[in-house]
Amino acid sequence: MGLYSKLPGELEEVDVIVAGGGSAGCIIASRLSDADPNLSILLIESGTNNYENPSIVYPAFIFDHIKPGNKYTTFYKGNKSDLLNDRELMLVTGGVLGGGSSINMVLYSRAQRSDIDGWKTPGWSADDLLHYMRKLETYHGPGKADRHGFDGPIHVSEDVFRVKKWDDEFMKSINRAGWPEIEDMNDLDNINGATRALRYVDSEGKRQDTAHRYLHPRLQDGKHPNLHVLIESSVERVLFEGQKAVGVVYTPNPSFQPSVAGSENPSRTIKARKMVVVSCGAVGTPLVLQRSGVGDPKVLERAGVPTVADVPGVGRDYEDHQIMLYGYKSDLPPEETLDAFNSGRLDREALVANKDKILSWNSFDIQCKLRPTEADVTALGPEFREVWDREFKNIPDKAWQLLIPVQCFPGDSTGFPIEQYLGAATYPLFPLSRGHVRITGPKLDDQPDFDLGFLSDYMDMKNHLWGYKKQREIMRRIESYRGEIPELHPPFPAGSKAACIETDTPHGDVADIEYTADDDAIIEKWVREHVDTAWHPVGSCKMLPYEKGGAVDPALNVYGVENLKVADLSILPTNVGSNPYNTAMAIGEKAADMIIQELGLGK
């Protein structure tokens, strides 16, 4: 099996190097290994192996991965921001083979047609990508057959564990609030309602990450001796001869290989005869390129890195979804929330040994993609009206806000009473705020200048205001609602109609809460103090024309150099109205096809 933590001495050169073993990288390496047995591929991943690891295979462990110090997670610290009450946000990304696909919430969530067509990039229309969305999946849900795939490696299905009664309660509540239930909200076209979520799990409830579904079968079948995977090693930079990429410099990751910590020169080199593909994610990829001398010359000069290619778009206009979490009390029984599992009241080892069905569940059973009414838009003010009319009004399949109800305490419940809780996660799908990713030095461990840019455009705050009010109206109409968790809501004063309450009975179809200007100011302050990243970093090496801030062309070639491509979520010209895993996989599938054709393989 070609899986190593240290490369064999005789392996000094391969045909293609894929830097980054995440959602897209695992697909690219796997598909290339199928295309030609004589093509040698090396995938390099900074994290460790994920194979059959229960905390990765079973979605119930999702909340463990955001805890500080988790060894399967990479944490990037953002710059302190006065817009966020002087906080330094921490971005959580996959730090294990499979990348984000090994630790994400396994929610089946596709982009909308207008999201992709809005890129206006040849070869990258919604119909072009739908081909790859279908290719990658085996779909076990409702909807039109021509919108889904039925023989791909990634299974999409309902959980083997689900609380249907609560799903019905939520659908009844959101209907009362004015939105319909939609049978299939992942057909590229349907939005503005709620759908019963499907997940990337198989019939046993196991996670469908790209390492388990693409890479490991090929490493174990004895038919792919051309596929090599190096784990626990971080790519420092791409090697160039002139403007031609000819390999990479990498370093064993001291988190897993402590023997290299403190070594004077632990770096090693591996050559690539044909191509290097960087797939390290929307933070990792621009850092690799900049350390390699590809980027804005001013940024490179400050960091002490000689310029190989002047590409100012590298690391520019970073985007992410800005999430808010709100908590509620419920009368649900213990077996209908994930609280007992998350708090350690259940014996996890016994659950794993017995392959308990709850392990397939992560408490997210419904997905809502919502748009405001015209009355809502008017109430948000003339400046917002201008943005809405320009960006959304005439694009009916473009969602504005994502809402996901949660059947557990939405965060760390330490110190809270042992009860059964509910939560609501909301985020603007197309925030206008932008950030940047920049190196500050030539080394892997130099702290990057990472500005998430959250709330730098005030219109995003308008979205959060609307999101808070709408999610609360929906949640308080649910039959099992028993009041708010005050610590997880803005601190409205006792005399406010928006003040948190506690109740012993359902509210039913009550009147909407009336908010004053003072209440709105309290919500805004709360958002600045609590908004966080949804772990959806994109767009830092955009697939745009060079003169428009692009870093790669439609063939994924990095501007100004040869034999170097980028293939991950950093290439998105603009964000997508969904969780990005599906888009990352589609990029991996399409990139693999492009490379196979470019190298003249598979004929």
- Strand boundaries in 198-262, DSSP class E: 227-230, 233-241, 244-252
Question: Residue 60 in contact with residue 431, Cβ under 8 Å?
Answer: no
- For residue 259, the model assigns a pLDDT of 73
- What 3-state DSSP class applies to 62? helix
In 467-484, which positions are buried (b, 16+ CB within 10 angstroms) versus exposed (e)?
Answer: bbbbbbbbbbbbbbbbeb
Question: What Å distances lie between residue 258 and 72, 232, 573, CA to CA?
Answer: 16, 11, 39
d(CA 244, CA 242): 6
- Strand boundaries in 23-147, DSSP class E: 41-44, 73-77, 90-94, 137-139
d(CA 244, CA 237): 13
The backbone torsions φ and ψ at residue 526, rounded to the nearest 5 degrees and listed phi first, read: -65, -40
Mean pLDDT by 10 residues, the chain (603 residues): 89 97 98 97 98 97 90 96 97 97 97 98 98 98 97 94 93 95 97 97 96 98 97 98 98 87 79 98 98 98 98 98 98 95 94 95 95 96 96 96 97 94 97 98 97 97 97 96 97 96 88 96 98 97 98 98 98 97 98 97 74
- For residue 507, the model assigns a pLDDT of 83
- For residue 300, the model assigns a pLDDT of 98
- For residue 10, the model assigns a pLDDT of 87
Q: What is the 3-state secondary structure (H, E, C) of 544-599?
A: CCHHHCCCECCCCEECCCECEEECCHHHCCCCCCCCCHHHHHHHHHHHHHHHHHHC
d(CA 320, CA 132): 24
User: From the candidates 212, 224, 464, 536, which is the catalytic residue?
Assistant: 536
Question: What Å distances lie between residue 295 and 62, 155, 550, 569, CA to CA?
Answer: 35, 38, 11, 18
Neighbours of 511 (CB within 10 A): 8
Question: What Å distances lie between residue 355 and 62, 239, 350, 436, 506, CA to CA?
Answer: 17, 46, 8, 43, 35
d(CA 35, CA 46): 26
d(CA 126, CA 345): 45
Tokens 């229309």 found at: 125
Return the structure tokens found at 92. Answer: 């959580």
Question: Residue 269 in contact with residue 247, Cβ under 8 Å?
Answer: yes
Report the run of H or E that residue 155 belongs to, with start and end: strand 154-156
d(CA 454, CA 433): 6
Contacts of 381 by beta carbon, 8 Å cutoff, 6+ apart = 462
Residue 216 annotated in active site: no
Question: What Å distances lie between residue 249 and 3, 90, 236, 269, 565, CA to CA?
Answer: 19, 27, 6, 5, 16
d(CA 525, CA 485): 18
> What amino acid occupies position 421?
Y
Q: What is the DSSP letter of 262?
A: T
Tokens 């579904």 found at: 213
Tokens 């009241």 found at: 345
Q: Are strands 244-252 and 268-278 parallel, antiparallel or unpaired?
A: antiparallel
Q: What is the DSSP letter of 246?
A: E
Among residues 157, 22, 39, the alpha carbon closest in space to that of 102 is found at 22
d(CA 174, CA 167): 11
